[in-house]
Amino acid sequence: MSDNSTEFPKPPKAYKNLQFLNSHEARSIRIQCELEEPKARFEEEGVENTIVFFGSARTPDPETEETPSRVSRFYGDARELSKRLTEWSMQTHTGKNSYAICSGGGPGIMEAANRGAKDAGGRSVALGISLPHEQHINRYSPPELSFEFHYFFVRKYWFLYMAKALVVFPGGVGTMDELFETLTLVQTGKMEKKLPIVLFGAEFWNEVVHFEKLVEWGTISPEDVHLFKVIDTVDEAYAYITGELGEQPPVG
């Protein structure tokens, strides 16, 4: 007869073994978790369609600046556009047909996007990323729709999977990466759905990225410059996006 007092403790189940789950061998499992856990939460919260805001984390809130910088006005523009699009969605679409503003969850333009949705009394999505020196989820996104990803490519998947429109404010390397990957998917037909893309801030985009020169050099087709629309005001961006999305329920 065995003495229970001398029995060895049960070994951990594999799915509770944190040492294994954080190992190189379990990388594919961690990737799968970053695909499936957000999916379950989005379904639970009834989020199927987003309007995505990209832009620099370094864009300051002009209300906190002693001397407004060259780019600080874009914080207010992003906040106002987000607010108006959220109000439009709440007035014209219900349930799973509604649109949620989605940002990268950090400071700058991302914060402005989430803040604008909250100003309107609506919810928004924050798809954060763990970085060595940056960043934290801003306080304007609800916890149930706030995420922190480890893998950039999975985060970008969630940015675009539910996106029905995209607004890109001035930004740096990360913003350019997100923009050009999106343009590549649309240009090559890998993304078949209609996706209005707004480049907000005419002076910035016309100065920083010379798309016409790519046409002149023959590296893109003339029609590729019509994959996006350069816009300089909140009124114009609002009219363009709502006009493109229309009153019909979003598809796909």
The string of DSSP letters for 172-238 reads -HHHHHHHHHHHHHHHTTSS-S---EEEE-HHHHHHH--HHHHHHTTSS-GGGGGSSEEE--HHHHH
- Nearest-CA neighbor of 98 among 248, 198, 238, 240? 248
Q: What is the pLDDT of residue 101?
A: 98
Q: What is the pLDDT of residue 231?
A: 98
User: Residue 127: which H helix or E strand, with range?
Assistant: strand 124-129
Neighbours of 162 (CB within 10 A): 21
| Chain center to CA of 248 | 23
Contacts of 100 (CB under 8 A, 6+ apart): 47, 49, 50, 51, 89, 117, 122, 123, 124, 125, 145
Structure tokens at 41: 């939460």
Neighbours of 15 (CB within 10 A): 9
Evaluate the CA torsion angle 207, 126, 43, 82 in order and state its sign: negative
The answer to whether the CB of 79 falls within 8 A of the CB of 113 is: yes
Q: CB-based burial of residue 178 (10 Å sphere; 0-12 exposed, 13-18 middle, 19+ buried)?
A: buried
Domain spans, the chain? 46-245
For residue 134, give Cα distances in angstroms to 31, 127, 251: 21, 14, 35
Q: What is the pLDDT of residue 67?
A: 78
The answer to whether the CB of 119 falls within 8 A of the CB of 90 is: no
Domain 46-245 has CATH 3.40.50.720: no
Neighbours of 28 (CB within 10 A): 8
Structure tokens at 178: 């997100």
Q: How many Å apart are CA 28 and CA 167, to the nearest integer? A: 32
- Nearest-CA neighbor of 141 among 108, 110, 165? 110
Left (φ > 0), alpha (ψ -120 to 50) or beta: where does 84 sit? alpha
Q: What is the pLDDT of residue 8?
A: 78
Structure tokens at 179: 């923009």
Give me the tens of pLDDT residue by residue for the chain, a chain 252 residues long. Answer: 555 556 778 888 998 889 989 999 999 999 999 999 999 999 999 999 999 999 999 999 998 887 778 899 999 999 999 999 999 999 999 888 999 999 999 999 999 999 999 999 999 999 999 988 766 899 999 999 999 999 999 999 999 999 999 999 999 999 999 999 999 999 999 998 999 999 999 999 999 999 999 999 999 999 999 999 999 999 999 999 999 998 555 655
Output the pTM of the full model: 0.91
